[in-house]
Amino acid sequence: MTIRYLKSSNKAAGAEAGADVADTVSVMLARIKAGGEGAARDYAQRLDGWDGDVVVSEGAVAEAVRSVPQGLKDDIAWAHENICRFAEAQLATVSEMEVELRPGLFAGQKLIPLRAAGAYVPGGRYAHIASALMTITTAKVAGVAHITACSPPKPTQGIHPAILYAMQLAGADRILAMGGVQGIAAMAGGLFGAVPADILIGPGNAYVAEAKRQMFGPVGIDMFAGPTDSMVIADASADAYTVAWDLVSQAEHGDNSPVWLVTDCEALARDVMRLVPELIAELPPVNSAAASAAWRDLGEVILCGSRGEMAGVSNRYGPEHLHVQAADLDWWAGALTCYGSLFLGAETTVSFGDKAAGPNHTLPTSGAARYTGGLSVHKFLKTVTWQRVDGEALPELARVTARISRHEGMEGHARAAELRLDGLVPKKRLAVG
């Protein structure tokens, strides 16, 4: 069967003015580099309407913590425990090692946590409590020595109290009331008393993503992140109402967040297409506007002839979130190879992963799942190698290295290798002395 699009996206409508964003960010970063904290404060005042303290004091954090209802604190702590335990389990899968490759030739790997991380926590349309937990907790478990966190403050209010609670619970060492490009630049540059970040992590809008992209190189980043995206794979056994809500729940991220349904059941597809607008209309106005635009412009419904075709479509798209609501979940787990995080069965939902289940929700977008995974403790660990040579391995290693070097035309490499033959290194040192 030919793959058919029962609903296609209008990609032109969802395209961002990338060049304008890049130019704006470039100018901002240059000005902050030249003007330091003063320039960053100026942007905070003009863009966020914030002229209060940039560094959030312990007293301000304590006050915010007192204002968070105990029930919400308990929920945040429950999610934090899951995220922490999953990160600890990830950490247990990697280890330092040493191997004797040949008699007298030793090599190994060592794990070195990064010195400092900068965690960006979005705070625009929604209060992204879970983002604070996902980024800061994972860095802390990996052993990062210093973590600076920042989030856009609301005029007169500052950072949302629940975000502050999540930041301090997860282990942030310094918190900056600053968002956008200026927040990213402040963490990277070590402004406002922060330790300059070795890596910048966390999701954000197009300007935040572009700032991280432009700073990449001297500073590491978690990934090049675009708008969040989600795919549901469903067969005739799936419930249309459940599938529709799962699509709508992800579309509410924003008007540039695509959602896709891949199915081999046309009746299910038609039911979902009928239900989605009805369910969107039930959301609060702000959520409804975002979800409506995302579904209208970027939503797709793809009808396939077999589960093999469905898996093929999914693997080509490489969705950030991939939710399977179909029979024979073991088959799907084996056939699907390109996704940020996989959700198996109707009992789970991407919302669980976004907020509280445990695996990290900072995931590759825009098809990047074809070549990379999401944020994990591994991102904060440098896996470095070392080697040591004893006498037994030295002669053959030096001769092989010299022959390969000369074949490549690299005489200096060959001579450096041959110096190690027959104990010539100490003789040469004596002669030079």
Q: Which two tokens stand for residue 79?
A: 């999610």
DSSP state of 347: T
d(CA 425, CA 83): 53
| Of residues 374, 330, 326, 379, the one with CA closest to residue 353 | 374
Write the single-letter amino acid at 143: G
Between strands 199-201 and 220-221, the pairing is parallel
User: Residue 214 pairs with which residues in a beta bridge?
Assistant: none
Q: Which two tokens stand for residue 20?
A: 């304008």
Q: Cβ(4)–Cβ(262) under 8 Å?
A: no
Residue 13 vs residues 31, 37, 255, 302, 331: alpha-carbon distances, Å:
32, 38, 10, 19, 36
d(CA 183, CA 208): 9
Which residues are part of the catalytic machinery?
Answer: 320-321
User: Residue 387 pairs with which residues in a beta bridge?
Assistant: 107
Q: Cβ(160)–Cβ(150) under 8 Å?
A: no
3-state secondary structure of 321: strand
